[in-house]
């Protein structure tokens, strides 16, 4: 008996020693002290990117965290971002999954799919058929029409002296554009179906960004502590019912056309996807769930982030009248007041472009780039094990004084070579994934395929809002007073989630700036 106990003790010692040696060999990045079971979850607040920044300020730019049963690393410098997203791009080519992501994307998402044949196929077809230059140019009249309708809402409200919820109108504008490209319908259609999509988009982006105990602590997998599973099911049935109705309706129309001998030409992305689904020789066999997942991908990506960016930019301009006036001077010099700005003017508006870059720096619509490793990787002498979540904290990088002069101040001039007090480093920064201190659309293979569409619509929309109206804020919570001109500053607090919108919706009374003979015909009045 004593011999057996001794042997057991030796075995335990050997197992413990082997684990300790393996841990030493792996040399994980620095890490705070973890608690049993929950690891470092107690260190995370609702705004995860803020919490990661605070931990990194104490333990270094590359840290290791244990989120319950899940390993994670957080990177907070451009140099690390380049190593992880470019040098070791293949190693970090996977994406995280969760109960919410898997259910709401039908386990068929393009955005969250592993890098492989399905992901490559969808990237190719979406880039060419929906987001390529040919389609962007083809849908230019629609974007112009939707922008004028958007301005028309404000113009009608201004004539009545009424306020308008800019946050909601921006979401409708973004959703109208992507809805017409994908479904040939508007979110303000009489049946109200796409209004449901707008609601779902915000619900999805919020729940995707939350940490769910059931996702990260293995023995809690089947316990819905936070009610996330119930919320997911509510969203799923609301969204699935709508999509099923839209797909079925389109299938019936296609069937009717065929029976009548009418050739049904592809009108939008839904037609293209149905063509692929019906093609027996297609490179990848698509199912209805694949189509539904793709719609969720594109609606969430195109609707929320675009609206968030414009709202943050406008809020910063309202807070800083000097910058707003400078933007108007540029627009007036290029366009004048005899017509409303259009997309062809974008290249002649460097200050508007600089305002958007500065907005991306201070308020990235998706504050962290998230990936997952598929194999072990060495970074700066540290080992990052396979199946480790990676978070590149772009929000933190954008506010780091090592890389930005006066990082907490909104200064678009930093991106203008003629105004830059330093050298040409910041003025030459672009946003297409080559400069790792500013990555609003990500980098590498998994960068956002909609960057070209976004950078056509964003400058025009923001410039039109600046050109056409003054904005009198009417829902301002108590905030700080600007010492320069004694006006009350907008609250710039963020709301938690996968994206980072302002916590308070922006409600203003628009005041027209252009002559009525310019606004009346454009805005339909």
User: Do the beta carbons of residue 372 and residue 94 sit within 8 Å?
Assistant: yes
Question: Which comes out higher in pLDDT, residue 264 or 108?
Answer: 108
> How far is Cα 2 from Cα 23, in angstroms, rounded to an integer?
32
Q: Is the pLDDT of residue 101 over 80?
A: yes
Predicted local distance difference test score (pLDDT) of residue 190: 44
Q: What share of the chain is helix, strand, coil (3-state, %, to 5)?
A: 55, 10, 40
Structure tokens at 304: 């929320």
The annotation status of 523 as a binding-site residue, yes or no, is no
Predicted local distance difference test score (pLDDT) of residue 307: 93
> How far is Cα 309 from Cα 521, in angstroms, rounded to an integer?
28
> How far is Cα 292 from Cα 299, in angstroms, rounded to an integer?
11
Q: Which contiguous run of DSSP H or E holds residue 72?
A: strand 70-75
> How far is Cα 35 from Cα 40, in angstroms, rounded to an integer?
7
The verdict on pTM exceeding 0.85 is yes
Q: Is the pLDDT of residue 346 over 80?
A: yes
Predicted local distance difference test score (pLDDT) of residue 25: 46
Predicted local distance difference test score (pLDDT) of residue 207: 83
Over residues 270-276, mean pLDDT: 88
The lowest-confidence range among 36-45, 225-234, 320-329 is 225-234
Q: What is the pLDDT of residues 449-468, one digit of tens each?
A: 889 899 999 999 999 999 99
Q: Give me the chain's average pLDDT, please.
A: 86
- pLDDT level of residue 419 (50, 70, 90 thresholds): low
User: Do the beta carbons of residue 311 and residue 473 sit within 8 Å?
Assistant: no
Predicted local distance difference test score (pLDDT) of residue 128: 80
Provide the 3-class DSSP secondary structure of residue 488.
Answer: strand
Predicted local distance difference test score (pLDDT) of residue 123: 87
> How far is Cα 166 from Cα 310, in angstroms, rounded to an integer?
10
Predicted local distance difference test score (pLDDT) of residue 87: 94
Predicted local distance difference test score (pLDDT) of residue 187: 65
> How far is Cα 473 from Cα 295, in angstroms, rounded to an integer?
35
**Within 13 Å and on the Cβ side, how many CA atoms surround 380?**
15
- Minimal CA–CA distance to 296: which of 271, 260, 269? 269
Q: Give the torsion sign (CA, 249, 253, 259, 263).
A: negative
Provide the 3-class DSSP secondary structure of residue 60.
Answer: coil
Beta pairing, strands 368-372 & 469-473: unpaired
Predicted local distance difference test score (pLDDT) of residue 63: 98
Provide the 3-class DSSP secondary structure of residue 75.
Answer: strand
pLDDT-above-70 percentage for the chain: 87
- pLDDT level of residue 266 (50, 70, 90 thresholds): low
> How far is Cα 345 from Cα 334, in angstroms, rounded to an integer?
8
Domain residue spans of the chain: 93-366+399-523
Q: What is the pLDDT of residues 243-259, one digit of tens each?
A: 888 889 888 888 888 88
From the centroid of its chain, how far is CA 386? 26
User: Do the beta carbons of residue 437 and residue 358 sit within 8 Å?
Assistant: no
Structure tokens at 496: 């938690």
- pLDDT level of residue 112 (50, 70, 90 thresholds): confident
Q: Is the pLDDT of residue 7 over 60?
A: no
Predicted local distance difference test score (pLDDT) of residue 263: 67
> How far is Cα 220 from Cα 199, in angstroms, rounded to an integer?
29
Predicted local distance difference test score (pLDDT) of residue 2: 45
User: Do the beta carbons of residue 384 and residue 377 sit within 8 Å?
Assistant: yes
Q: What is the pLDDT of residues 387-401, one digit of tens each?
A: 999 999 999 999 999
Q: What is the pLDDT of residues 182-207, one digit of tens each?
A: 888 776 554 555 566 667 777 887 88
- pLDDT level of residue 20 (50, 70, 90 thresholds): very low
User: Do the beta carbons of residue 228 and residue 99 sit within 8 Å?
Assistant: yes
**Within 13 Å and on the Cβ side, how many CA atoms surround 376?**
8
Q: Is the pLDDT of residue 11 over 70?
A: no
Q: Is the pLDDT of residue 409 over 80?
A: yes
Distances (CA, A) of 475 to 126, 166, 202, 263, 363: 40, 11, 21, 53, 21
Over residues 97-112, mean pLDDT: 86
pLDDT-above-90 percentage for the chain: 48
Predicted local distance difference test score (pLDDT) of residue 525: 60
Q: Is the pLDDT of residue 446 over 90?
A: no
Provide the 3-class DSSP secondary structure of residue 64.
Answer: strand
- pLDDT level of residue 5 (50, 70, 90 thresholds): very low
- Greatest mean pLDDT among 207-211, 252-256, 297-301, 352-356 lies in 352-356
Q: Is the pLDDT of residue 139 over 50?
A: yes
As a CATH number, domain 93-366+399-523 is: 1.10.630.10
> How far is Cα 122 from Cα 383, in angstroms, rounded to an integer?
33
Please list, residue by residue across 227-239, b when 16 or more beta carbons sit within 10 angstroms of its beta carbon and e when fewer do.
ebbebbeebbeeb
Distances (CA, A) of 301 to 205, 371, 426, 454: 9, 17, 27, 10
What are the DSSP calls for 307-334, one per residue? HHHHHHHHHHHHH-HHHHHHHHHHHHHH
Predicted local distance difference test score (pLDDT) of residue 192: 55
Question: Contacts for 520-525 with beta carbons within 8 Å, 24 or more apart?
Answer: 522/148, 522/151, 522/152, 522/340, 523/148, 523/151, 523/152, 523/155, 523/156, 524/148, 524/149, 524/152, 525/152, 525/155, 525/156, 525/159
Beta bridge partners of 481: 488
Q: Tell me 87's DSSP state.
A: I
Beta pairing, strands 70-75 & 389-393: parallel
Q: What is the pLDDT of residues 147-182, one digit of tens each?
A: 999 999 999 999 999 999 999 999 999 988 988 888
User: Do the beta carbons of residue 143 and residue 302 sit within 8 Å?
Assistant: no
């Amino acid at each position: 008996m004593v011999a057996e106990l001794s042997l057991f003790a030796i075995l335990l010692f050997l197992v413990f020693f082997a684990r300790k040696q393996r841990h030493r060999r792996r040399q994980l990045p620095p890490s705070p002290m973890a608690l049993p079971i929950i690891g470092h979850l107690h260190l995370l607040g609702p705004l995860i990117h803020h919490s990661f920044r605070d931990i990194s300020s104490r333990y270094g730019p590359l840290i290791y965290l244990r989120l319950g049963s899940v390993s994670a690393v957080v990177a907070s410098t451009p140099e690390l971002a380049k190593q992880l997203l470019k040098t070791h791009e293949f190693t970090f080519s996977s994406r995280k999954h969760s109960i919410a992501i898997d259910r709401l994307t039908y386990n068929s998402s393009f955005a969250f799919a592993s890098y492989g044949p399905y992901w490559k196929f969808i990237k190719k077809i979406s880039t060419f058929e929906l987001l390529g230059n040919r389609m962007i140019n083809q849908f230019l009249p629609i974007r112009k029409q939707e922008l004028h309708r958007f301005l028309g809402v404000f113009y009608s409200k201004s004539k009545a002296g009424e306020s308008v919820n800019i946050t909601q109108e921006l979401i409708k504008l973004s959703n109208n554009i992507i809805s017409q490209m994908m479904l040939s319908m508007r979110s303000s259609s009489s049946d109200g179906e796409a209004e449901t999509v707008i609601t779902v988009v915000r619900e999805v982006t919020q729940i995707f960004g939350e940490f769910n105990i059931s996702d990260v602590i293995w023995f809690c997998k089947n316990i819905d502590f936070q009610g996330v599973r119930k919320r997911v099911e509510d969203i799923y049935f609301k969204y699935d019912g709508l999509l099923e109705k839209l797909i079925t309706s389109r299938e019936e129309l296609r069937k009717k056309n065929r029976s009548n001998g009418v050739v049904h030409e592809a009108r939008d992305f839904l037609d293209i996807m149905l063509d692929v689904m019906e093609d027996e020789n297609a490179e990848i066999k698509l199912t209805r769930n694949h189509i539904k997942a793709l719609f969720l991908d594109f609606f969430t990506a195109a609707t929320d982030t675009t609206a968030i960016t414009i709202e943050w930019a406008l809020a910063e301009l309202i807070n800083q009248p000097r910058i707003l006036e400078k933007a108007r001077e540029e627009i007036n010099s290029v366009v004048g007041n005899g017509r409303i700005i259009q997309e062809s003017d974008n290249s002649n508006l460097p200050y508007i472009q600089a305002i958007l870059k500065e907005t991306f720096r201070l308020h990235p619509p998706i504050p962290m780039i998230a990936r997952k490793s598929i194999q072990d990787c060495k970074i700066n002498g540290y080992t990052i094990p396979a199946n480790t979540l990676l978070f590149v904290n772009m929000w933190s990088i954008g506010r780091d004084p090592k890389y930005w002069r006066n990082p907490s101040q909104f200064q678009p001039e930093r991106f203008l070579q003629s105004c830059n007090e330093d050298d040409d480093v910041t003025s030459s920064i672009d946003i297409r994934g080559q400069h790792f201190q500013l990555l609003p659309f990500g980098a590498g293979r998994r960068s956002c395929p909609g960057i070209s569409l976004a950078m056509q619509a964003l400058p025009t929309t923001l410039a039109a809002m600046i050109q056409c109206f003054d904005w009198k804020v009417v829902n301002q919570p108590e905030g700080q007073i600007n010492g320069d001109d004694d006006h009350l500053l907008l609250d710039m607090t963020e709301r938690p989630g996968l994206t980072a919108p302002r916590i308070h919706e922006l409600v203003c009374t628009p005041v027209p700036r252009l002559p009525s003979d310019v606004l009346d015909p454009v805005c339909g009045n």
